[in-house]
Amino acid sequence: MIIHQIYYDDKSKDNCIIDDRVKLYYNIIDPNPFYENEVICDLIPLEQSDRVGVFSHKYTNKLGVSLDKIEERTEDIVTFFKINYKNHYWKNFDRWHPNGLKALEELKKVFGWDIDFNKQPKHIVYQNHFVADTNIYKHYVKTFLSPVMDYLLLNEDIVNFTPNLPQYKNYTMHPFLLERLFTIYLEQNKYSVHQFNIIQDK
């Protein structure tokens, strides 16, 4: 298992995990609207390990499940989330990012996804923090992530709105849409998945 962890400066580098299973990736902050998704598309097709994940430097503070616990799992995919059954995943997304669900509905039509955004998904992935068998991750990048990124570059009107979060006022909607894609991908495919409940398993 290899984890690629992204940092942007010395301060963010100090947040990263010190472990032989972790490869640090320095990503220059630039106007690229896709943020870590661009890094994922660069790294994953070349990955040679059996399992792989791409984490931000905030992983330990946000989630913090140990690499040993992750590596013990035998499922195809390991994800992390904080259980909150009161909030519907897609409605909650649209509450924080008005018009976000409308954008996903448009992408659903374009790419023919078989998903009902009125239903709670079986597996919830809030961020790009997940670990998968490398061939599965490569399939996700090739069939889901890269095509959507290419489409968004040519159809900026779909993401012509900003997140409803003050701390992300300088962001576009691109990364917030894209980090929901793996949840959609899991709804389209039958893989074994283990979800760590961060409140219980940290």
- pTM of the complete model: 0.90
Over residues 67-85, the mean pLDDT reads: 86
The answer to whether the CB of 185 falls within 8 A of the CB of 121 is no
CB atoms within 10 A of CB 119: 11
Q: According to the model, what pLDDT value does residue 93 have?
A: 87
Indicate the residue type of 172.
T
Q: According to the model, what pLDDT value does residue 162 have?
A: 60
**Exposed/middle/buried for residue 59 (C-beta within 10 Å: 0-12, 13-18, 19+):** buried
pLDDT category, 64, cuts 50, 70, 90? confident
As a whole number of angstroms, the distance between CA 60 and CA 22 comes to 13
Model confidence pLDDT, tens digit, residues 6-36: 999 999 999 999 999 999 999 876 656 788 8
The owner of tokens 């995919």 is 77
Helix (H), strand (E) at residue 195: strand 193-197
Q: According to the model, what pLDDT value does residue 5 have?
A: 95
The answer to whether the CB of 62 falls within 8 A of the CB of 17 is no
Q: For 45-126, list the strands marked E by DSSP.
A: 51-56, 77-81
Model confidence pLDDT, tens digit, residues 152-202: 999 988 876 665 655 555 667 888 899 999 999 999 999 999 998 765 554
Q: According to the model, what pLDDT value does residue 197 have?
A: 78
Cα 126 to chain center, whole Å?
7
Model confidence pLDDT, tens digit, residues 80-107: 876 555 568 898 888 888 888 999 999 9
Over residues 45-54, the mean pLDDT reads: 97
Residue of 164, 161, 154, 146 whose CA lies nearest to 102: 161
